[in-house]
């Protein structure tokens, strides 16, 4: 399966050049709304003078249109070889009036055979219903159709405010709130018309959503001018309705600065702790024009949020006392302002403690994966952990893949007694030429979990 940029876009309060590019991508720049740019591919076989084989034909068998704007749209094409010789062809997936190529692969098609090619892409969260062409091109033939999206409704909860003014090099934390609290949703992020990050997210995104009922994206803006950020929210149910939040970010010399963070206690970058004994962390946050809001305290490796401390004014002190610490984990605070600007200290506190492995069981379960993935892309496996024993526990997880088991990744983990956590293991898939399904296992000292994933050629 292949993901690519969509042809849809929204131009609210953005620079003229960006607006024109969005209109071109969605066929709104000028009177011509046709798709004359959709053309068959030329043959790359240098030994054949007659060009592409007339025996290959392509047709679009199905689409998932219409979908809610921001949701994933699927196009299914069928490639038929009506000749007597086996052939190979390039296949390209084209989107929009400018025929933007968002998918490409090569496929062998045996004589008399019909092969299926599936393409997926996330549409842009436009606010109104719209249609645009999609095409599948092979060597010597082209098939196209028109697909549609249903305009995304405004997301009820999002922060910061829709219009932001910051200085160059400032990082901003954007939050797309849960449409239905405690319910699953997919959030797809866009910056200046380009999709960023993975819709699956990772353990930090999951932890943040569980704590605050919001998905987040952090983006650093290095170039002056106006930038557009959008979040498409797709509820887990099968309803076609989707939601969107949009921000206009102005980057200028007179914009708001990032906050600064100074760790105060404990002194130094490393901290020795005793299991079950509380330790207090303290920092000072400053922003010259005020607007401090809160600190989110993270425990890395365990991928958990230790707590939240409120801030106010231009300078404030934040403290956190906790005994939920683990060996080699870091306590990493996010200092966040009301306008979403965010900063962390250059170095976090590292928990420098060594304990012998003690009794207890580390239960392992697979929360999810980003399957299906295009061949050659990275497959991610997100694992939930629980220490069911009465004592602190360290373990080492192994990711085993394939019908002929192969060890491809290792992840050290540690949890306090009765605690839960998460980990992510990953590996780069092989550039296979046909779709493949195979098992993946996550193996720990006491427990293991297995699921089946798919790689799409």
* Per-residue model confidence (pLDDT) at position 7: 36
Q: Are 307 and 320 in contact (CB under 8 A)?
A: yes
Element (H, E) at 206: helix 203-212
Stretch 288-309: mean pLDDT: 95
Q: Lowest mean pLDDT of 29-43, 207-221, 421-435, name the range.
A: 29-43
* Per-residue model confidence (pLDDT) at position 184: 84
CB neighbour class for 324 (10 Å; exposed up to 12, middle 13-18, buried from 19): middle
User: What residues does CATH 2.60.40.10 cover in the chain?
Assistant: 16-150, 153-251, 260-351, 362-456
Of 44-58, 184-198, 284-298, give the range with the top mean pLDDT.
284-298
Residue 205 CA: distances (Å) to CA of 116, 211, 215, 268, 422: 35, 10, 6, 29, 11
Of the candidates 38, 133, 143, the residue with the CA atom closest to the CA atom of residue 80: 143
Does residue 34 surpass a pLDDT of 80? no
Q: How far apart are the first and last CA of the chain?
A: 7
Of the candidates 336, 404, 357, 409, the residue with the CA atom closest to the CA atom of residue 170: 336
Does residue 282 surpass a pLDDT of 60? yes
Does residue 411 surpass a pLDDT of 90? yes
The CA distance from 278 to 251, in Å, is 42
Pairing type for strands 100-109 and 87-95 reads: antiparallel
pTM of the entire predicted model: 0.68
Of residues 98 and 291, more confidently modeled = 291
Stretch 327-331: mean pLDDT: 89
Stretch 330-334: mean pLDDT: 95
Q: Class of the 153-251 domain? A: mainly beta
The CA distance from 293 to 94, in Å, is 45
Q: Class of the 260-351 domain? A: mainly beta
Does residue 89 surpass a pLDDT of 80? yes
Does residue 2 surpass a pLDDT of 70? no
DSSP summary character for residue 110: -
Does residue 21 surpass a pLDDT of 60? no
Residue 37 CA: distances (Å) to CA of 8, 43, 268: 17, 18, 61
Of the candidates 403, 387, 406, 405, the residue with the CA atom closest to the CA atom of residue 395: 387
Q: Which CATH architecture has domain 362-456?
A: Sandwich (2.60)
DSSP summary character for residue 41: B
CATH homologous superfamily of 16-150: Immunoglobulins (2.60.40.10)
Phi-psi region of 197 (alpha: psi -120 to 50; beta: other; left: phi over 0): left
Q: Lowest mean pLDDT of 100-109, 200-209, 348-357, 414-423, name the range.
A: 348-357
Element (H, E) at 382: strand 378-387
Pairing type for strands 87-95 and 130-138 reads: antiparallel
The CA distance from 387 to 414, in Å, is 9
Does residue 12 surpass a pLDDT of 50? no
* Per-residue model confidence (pLDDT) at position 356: 46
DSSP summary character for residue 139: B
């Amino acid at each position: 399966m292949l993901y690519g940029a969509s042809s849809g876009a929204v131009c609210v309060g953005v620079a003229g050049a960006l607006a024109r590019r969005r209109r071109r991508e969605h066929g709104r720049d000028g009177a011509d709304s046709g798709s004359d740019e959709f053309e068959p591919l030329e043959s790359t076989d240098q030994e054949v003078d007659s060009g592409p084989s007339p025996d290959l034909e392509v047709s679009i068998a199905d689409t998932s249109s219409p979908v809610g704007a921001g949701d994933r749209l699927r196009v299914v094409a069928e490639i038929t070889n009506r000749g007597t010789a086996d052939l190979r062809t390039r296949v390209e997936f084209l989107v929009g009036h400018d025929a933007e190529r968002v998918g490409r692969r090569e496929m062998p098609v045996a004589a008399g055979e019909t092969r299926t090619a599936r393409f997926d892409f996330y549409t842009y969260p436009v606010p109104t219903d719209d249609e645009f062409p999609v095409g599948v091109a092979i060597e010597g033939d082209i098939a196209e159709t028109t697909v549609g999206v249903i305009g995304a409704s405004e997301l009820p909860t999002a922060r910061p405010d829709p219009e932001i003014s910051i200085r160059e090099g400032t990082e901003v934390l954007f939050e797309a709130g849960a449409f239905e609290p405690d319910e699953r949703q997919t959030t797809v992020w866009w910056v200046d018309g380009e999709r960023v990050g993975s819709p699956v997210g990772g353990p930090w995104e999951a932890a943040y959503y569980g704590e605050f009922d919001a998905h987040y994206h952090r983006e650093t803006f290095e170039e002056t001018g106006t930038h557009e950020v959008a979040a498409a929210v797709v509820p887990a149910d099968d309803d076609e309705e989707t939601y969107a939040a949009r921000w206009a970010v102005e980057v200028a010399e007179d914009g708001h600065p990032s906050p600064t963070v100074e760790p105060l206690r404990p002194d130094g970058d490393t901290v020795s702790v005793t299991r079950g004994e509380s330790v207090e962390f303290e920092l000072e946050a400053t922003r010259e024009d005020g607007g401090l809001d809160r600190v989110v305290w993270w425990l890395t490796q365990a991928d958990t949020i230790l707590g939240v401390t409120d801030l106010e004014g231009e300078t404030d002190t934040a403290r956190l006392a906790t005994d939920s610490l683990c060996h080699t984990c870091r306590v990493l605070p996010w200092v966040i302002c009301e306008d979403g600007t965010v900063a962390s200290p250059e170095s976090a506190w590292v928990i420098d403690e060594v304990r012998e492995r003690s009794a207890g069981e580390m239960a392992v379960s697979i929360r999810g994966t980003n399957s299906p993935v295009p061949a050659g892309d990275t497959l991610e496996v997100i694992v939930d952990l629980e220490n069911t024993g009465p004592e602190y526990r360290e373990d080492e997880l192994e990711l085993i893949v394939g019908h002929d088991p192969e060890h491809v990744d290792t992840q050290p983990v540690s949890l306090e007694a009765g605690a839960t956590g998460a980990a992510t293991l990953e590996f780069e898939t092989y550039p296979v030429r046909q779709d493949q399904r195979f098992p993946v296992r996550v193996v720990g000292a006491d427990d293991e979990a297995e699921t089946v994933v798919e790689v799409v050629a």
